[in-house]
Amino acid sequence: MVAIDVTDLTKEYGSVLGVDSLTFAVEDGEVFGFLGPNGAGKTTTIRTLMGFLSPTTGGAAVLGADVTDERSLVEVKRRVGYLPASPAFDETATGREILDLHASIKGDARRDDLLDLFDPPLDREVREYSTGNRQKLGIVQAFMHDPALVILDEPTSGLDPLLQRRFEEFVRAERDRGVTVFFSSHVLGEVRRICDRVAILRDGRLVTTERVEDLVDRSGKAVHARSAEPLATTDLALPGVHDLEVHDGDGDAATEVTFTYTGEVNALTDRLADFDLVDLAVEEAPLEDVFLRFYGDTEDHRDASRAEEGTANV
């Protein structure tokens, strides 16, 4: 079954286009990442799915409920968890009071398990919370009624690296329990580690929807070779060789080459066999490079992605 079904969805804010003719589906039981640069339309899509914005044209269904049909959406939302980009809590309530209220509406079968993992200071008023503690409270609230589908807008923003990893493990375990998770993210490392599929948005339009495994396959291999004899760029003019760089070598190497390879493995080994190599490293190419190609690969994006693996804010 399909958990989220988006069909030709367009949302205009006056003359500003939020999203443009989006069509994609999230299958039951998958972890689906929703990526794109700032302003791409992720939050607009998520708020439309939750019924907070109405589509200008096109539509969407969540667990079978049309998002413009208030009555059926309210009904299915009992089985949906939601974490907005900036959770708006009652600032003078304590974390416990907020969870109690939520429990009275939707239930809290899994509250204790979640509080073991994400432990906001429950007896303090939310206005005293740090950003990370707000996020932890939001995560507990989103999952504690044991929803079938969880929609999260940048769930790990504000979490420290330890909690980010804990969140990733938790989401993988939720998927194993059959829960569907749809989340927007700028953290490419986490997307790589936990998503089954991703959709990439740019300027309100869907650029691609792919399995993460396929993206990794297509990203090819990062090859680094050191040759005892001089090599020229033309020596490696092979289909599937990208971003080839040839440098003078040092020590026992006359030349060093690095490139990304997306072609046939045998064609590469045949060609390399012609040279007297002293060293060869073939590794998975960084997925960041593939994402950035879709994003548009501006200098800003590149710099941000290199800033810190796993926390790149592109």
Ligand X SMILES: Nc1ncnc2c1ncn2[C@@H]1O[C@H](COP(=O)(O)OP(=O)(O)OP(=O)(O)O)[C@@H](O)[C@H]1O
Residue 36 is a binding residue for ligand X (CB under 6 A): yes
- Candidate residues 15, 38, 104, 234; the one interacting with ligand X per rule CB under 6 A: 38
When the beta carbons of 13 and 78 are compared against ligand X, the nearer one is 13
Residue 18 is a binding residue for ligand X (CB under 6 A): yes
Residue 249 is a binding residue for ligand X (CB under 6 A): no
Query: Minimum CB separation from ligand X for residue 23, in Å?
Result: 17
| DSSP letter string, the chain | -EEEEEEEEEEEETTEEEEEEEEEEEETT-EEEEE-STTSSHHHHHHHHTTSS--SEEEEEETTEETT-HHHHHHHGGGEEEE-SS----TTSBHHHHHHHHHHHH--TTHHHHHHHS---TTSBGGG--HHHHHHHHHHHHHTT--SEEEEESTTTT--HHHHHHHHHHHHHHHHTT-EEEEEES-HHHHHHH-SEEEEEETTEEEEEEEHHHHHHHH-EEEEEEESS---GGGG--TTEEEEEEEE--TT-SEEEEEEE-S-HHHHHHHHTTS-EEEEEEEEPPHHHHHHHHHT--HHHHHHHHH-TTT---
- Binding residues for ligand X restricted to 72-91, rule: CB under 6 A: none
When the beta carbons of 106 and 301 are compared against ligand X, the nearer one is 301
When the beta carbons of 16 and 105 are compared against ligand X, the nearer one is 16
When the beta carbons of 183 and 275 are compared against ligand X, the nearer one is 183
Residue 16 is a binding residue for ligand X (CB under 6 A): yes
- Candidate residues 4, 42, 120, 134; the one interacting with ligand X per rule CB under 6 A: 42
Given the rule CB under 6 A, which of 37-45, 71-79, 160-168, 205-213 is the region that contacts ligand X? 37-45
When the beta carbons of 134 and 226 are compared against ligand X, the nearer one is 134
Given the rule CB under 6 A, which of 35-43, 57-65, 210-218, 302-310 is the region that contacts ligand X? 35-43
Residue 33 is a binding residue for ligand X (CB under 6 A): no
Site size toward ligand X, by CB under 6 A:
11
| Residues in touch with ligand X (CB under 6 A) | 13, 16, 18, 36, 38-44
